[in-house]
């Protein structure tokens, strides 16, 4: 049983001097407490990565299975070398990726040193590392002087929170502190890459989770392999739920639909539509109780990404809507990561 407690929400504005807030949050973490902390992607549920009891508590509070490893957040890329053992043949590629995308929404899965507790990595020989661009997560990690292990601050399998209010809805009453810096600027979880050697022994990356660092952005930097390709893939890949078919799911059923095809509603069921621009033939149909556009009018993928989880959450909370229909999005750039999340949300229904 998770003890019930009062959840304090502290507002923090990274444009002001936040050192006292960072110090206070780091104090809670240093005592083994959990703190929900904003990043540019989604809010994370942070624990001191070197405190096994605190990390165990993260799994308990989220009801997360122990085989799903956590991401460690660092204040600076330079700090990562104390916790990882990158093979010499991969170091130049790791340096290049770090220079290009850190601080930012990229996570690198790297061989770990023993200082990282087994519980963080679900016993894997690797640890997922990220230097976020959000000043608040980095500020707290700097004040703690340890990496912060933080999964998304939602209950396992639910929609990731992109605001402090969403965190409170997910975990209020079971954690002591939430830092509120407003909405997340990316809105989708980080891209997860595992640097590796390809079949020819050349440095490449395996794309473990699509995210804001898109395939297009990686082009010209290195070859991108699908999970399971390249040397010794089986040994190093976890059975990780971020990669489970059903994940990131609203409580209500979600159906993915081609916006150019007509939708036939079932008698007596009320439907809400998540529409890309809000102007498709599908959106004009009369059958919707509610239509929520992701990027009204102009259809910008970056805007849709920022809003996707908040809109999914709003549809889930709307009592008038029983079934959510989401338009398929263009599968270029950020559209790939969004379609990945929508497919997993829809898979829950197929599995049920
Ligand atoms: O943007 C993000 O990545 C957010 C913020 C808070 O940083 N975090 C996040 O964490 O999305 P989470 O726990 O929801 O997803 C972490 C995923 C795992 O499900 C797993 O797929 C992958 O990271 N992962 C972690 N450690 C790994 C490892 N050693 N090898 C392979 N995959 C790993
Ligand atoms: Mg998650």
- Cα–Cα dist 308/304, whole Å: 6
Could you tell me which of 212, 213, 39 has the C-alpha nearest to residue 138?
39
The ligand 1 site (C-beta within 6 Å) comprises: 39, 41-42, 44, 68-71, 107, 109, 121, 124, 126-128, 130, 150-152, 189-190, 192, 208-209, 238, 240-243
Cβ pair 198, 204 in contact under 8 A:
yes
Query: Separation of 243 CA from ligand 2 center, angstroms?
Result: 10
Cβ pair 282, 259 in contact under 8 A:
yes
- Best of 129, 192, 232 for a ligand 1 pocket test (most atoms within 8 Å of beta carbon): 192
Cβ pair 140, 35 in contact under 8 A:
yes
Query: Separation of 36 CA from ligand 2 center, angstroms?
Result: 13
- 260 phi/psi in degrees, rounded to 5: -90, -5
Cβ pair 307, 212 in contact under 8 A:
no
Could you tell me which of 155, 189, 158, 157 has the C-alpha nearest to residue 174?
155
The model's pTM: 0.95
> In ligand 1, which atom is closest to the CA atom of 128?
26
Query: Separation of 236 CA from ligand 1 center, angstroms?
Result: 14
Written as tens digits, the pLDDT of the chain (352 aa) is 778 999 999 999 999 999 999 999 999 999 999 999 999 999 999 999 999 999 999 999 999 999 999 999 999 999 999 999 999 999 999 999 999 999 999 999 999 999 999 999 999 999 999 999 999 999 999 999 999 999 999 999 899 999 999 999 999 999 999 999 999 999 999 999 999 999 999 999 999 999 999 999 999 999 999 766 555 444 455 555 556 666 678 999 999 999 999 999 999 999 999 999 999 999 999 999 999 999 998 899 999 999 999 999 999 999 999 999 999 999 999 999 999 999 999 987 555 4
The residue whose CA is least distant from atom 7 of ligand 1 is 44
The residue whose CA is least distant from atom 6 of ligand 1 is 44
């Amino acid at each position: 049983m998770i003890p019930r407690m009062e959840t304090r929400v502290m507002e923090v504005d990274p444009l002001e001097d936040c050192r006292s807030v960072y110090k206070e949050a780091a104090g809670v973490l240093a005592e083994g407490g959990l703190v929900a902390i904003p990043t540019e992607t989604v809010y994370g549920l942070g624990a001191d990565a070197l405190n096994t009891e605190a990390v165990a508590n993260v799994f308990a509070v989220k009801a997360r299975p122990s085989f799903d490893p956590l991401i460690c957040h660092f204040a600076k890329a330079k700090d990562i070398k104390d916790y990882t053992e990158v093979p010499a043949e991969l170091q130049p590629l790791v340096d290049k990726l770090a220079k290009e995308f850190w601080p930012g929404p990229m996570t690198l899965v790297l061989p770990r040193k023993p200082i990282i507790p087994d519980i963080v990595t679900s016993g894997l020989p690797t640890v997922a590392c990220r230097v976020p661009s959000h000043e608040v997560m980095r500020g707290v990690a700097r004040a703690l002087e340890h990496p912060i292990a933080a999964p998304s601050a939602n209950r396992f399998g639910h929609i990731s929170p992109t605001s402090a209010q969403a965190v409170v809805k997910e975990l209020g009453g079971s954690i002591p502190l939430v830092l509120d810096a407003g909405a997340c600027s990316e809105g989708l979880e980080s891209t997860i890459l595992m640097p590796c050697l390809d079949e020819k022994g050349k440095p490449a990356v395996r794309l473990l989770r699509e995210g804001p660092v898109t395939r297009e952005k990686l082009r010209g930097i290195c070859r991108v392999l699908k999970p399971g390709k390249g040397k010794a893939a089986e040994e190093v890949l976890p059975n990780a739920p971020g990669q489970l078919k059903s994940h990131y799911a609203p409580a209500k059923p979600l159906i993915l639909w081609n916006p150019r095809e007509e939708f036939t509603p079932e008698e007596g069921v009320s439907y809400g539509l998540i529409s890309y621009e809000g102007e498709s033939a599908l959106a004009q149909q009369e059958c919707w109780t509610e239509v929520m556009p992701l990027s009204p009018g102009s259809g910008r993928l970056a805007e849709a990404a920022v809003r996707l989880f908040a809109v999914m959450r709003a549809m889930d909370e709307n009592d008038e809507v029983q079934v959510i229909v989401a338009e398929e999005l263009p599968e270029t750039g950020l559209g790939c990561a969004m379609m990945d999340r929508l497919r997993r949300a829809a898979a829950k229904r197929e599995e049920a």
